[in-house]
């Protein structure tokens, strides 16, 4: 059974990995980037950052670049596993945004379909009214096609 590990400064590391590519960084580079996003970070957080770097090394999200590192100073680079994590995060964020938008579009689509149905019932009662409703009906049908096209595009992007 896998044991969960607490990553110190998780949100800071995640923000850093989403916005930056780690290539030949020293620990001070991580610290500087974290300070730019949270300037009021306490000094004790620096120790937690070093602990986090060690955990990220152990779990193979980062690796030490042996060609540019020395005994006193490690240089870190990201692994494909970190890149997969970054891509997964971005895809999840897109999925959340798209699900919200899709929900709104489906509500709008249902309203447009109800409008078409209403116009069809009016036309069933009196066919002479068709010349008054035809432009409205075509506009609504065009809107329905756009909505369906947007939904299809979002689904294609996610797949």
pLDDT at 70: 86
> What tens digit of pLDDT does each residue of 97-144 get?
999 999 999 999 999 999 999 999 998 988 888 888 899 999 999 999
Q: Give the confidence band of 153 by pLDDT, cuts at 50, 70, 90.
A: very high
> What tens digit of pLDDT does each residue of 29-73 get?
999 999 998 899 898 999 999 999 999 999 999 999 988 988 889
pLDDT at 1: 38
d(CA 73, CA 52): 16
pLDDT at 3: 53
> What tens digit of pLDDT does each residue of 4-19 get?
778 999 999 999 999 9
For residue 54, give both structure tokens: 């060690």
Percent above pLDDT 90 for the chain: 77
Averaged pLDDT of the chain: 92
pLDDT at 2: 46
> What tens digit of pLDDT does each residue of 80-94 get?
999 999 999 999 999
Q: What is the per-residue DSSP string for 23-87?
A: EEE-HHHHHHHHHHH-TT--THHHHHHHHHHHHHHHTTSEEE-TTT--SS---EEE-HHHHHHHH
């Amino acid at each position: 059974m896998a044991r969960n590990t607490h990553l110190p400064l998780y949100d800071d590391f995640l923000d850093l990995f989403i916005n930056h590519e780690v290539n030949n960084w020293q620990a001070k580079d991580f610290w500087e980037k974290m300070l730019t996003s949270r300037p009021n970070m306490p000094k004790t957080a620096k120790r937690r950052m070093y602990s986090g770097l060690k955990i990220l090394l152990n779990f193979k999200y980062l690796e030490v670049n042996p060609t540019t590192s020395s005994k006193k100073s490690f240089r870190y680079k990201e692994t494909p596993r970190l890149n997969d994590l970054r891509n997964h995060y971005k895809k999840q964020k897109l999925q959340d945004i798209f699900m919200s938008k899709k929900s709104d579009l489906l509500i709008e689509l249902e309203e447009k379909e109800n409008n078409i149905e209403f116009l069809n019932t009016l036309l069933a009662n009196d066919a002479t009214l068709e010349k008054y409703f035809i432009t409205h009906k075509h506009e609504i049908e065009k809107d329905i096609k756009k909505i369906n096209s947007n939904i299809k595009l979002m689904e294609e992007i996610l797949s």
